[in-house]
Amino acid sequence: MRSRRDFVTLSAASIVTGFPLGSPTQQQTPTPAADTDALRSEFLLDLALDTQAPPNTIGFPGGDRVIVNVTGGSFQGPRLRGTIIAGGGDWIVQRPDGSRVLDVRIVMSTDDGQKIYVSWGGIAYTENGTLFARIVPMFETGSEKYAWLNRTVSVGVYRPMQGKVAFRLYRIL
Domain locations in the chain as residue ranges: 1-31, 41-172
pLDDT surpassing 60 at residue 14: no
User: Is pLDDT above 80 for 3?
Assistant: no
Average pLDDT for the chain:
89
- Position 150 pLDDT exceeds 90: yes
Arch. (CATH architecture) of 41-172 = Beta Barrel (2.40)
Alpha-carbon gap, residue 69 to 106, rounded angstroms: 10
pLDDT in tens, 46-94: 999 999 999 999 998 888 999 999 999 999 999 999 999 999 999 999 9
pLDDT at 117 over 80: yes
What per-residue confidence (pLDDT) applies to 62? Answer: 81
Residue 98: predicted pLDDT: 94
Beta strands in 23-152 (DSSP E): 41-51, 56-60, 63-76, 81-94, 100-110, 115-127, 130-140
Band the pLDDT of 37: cuts 50, 70, 90. confident
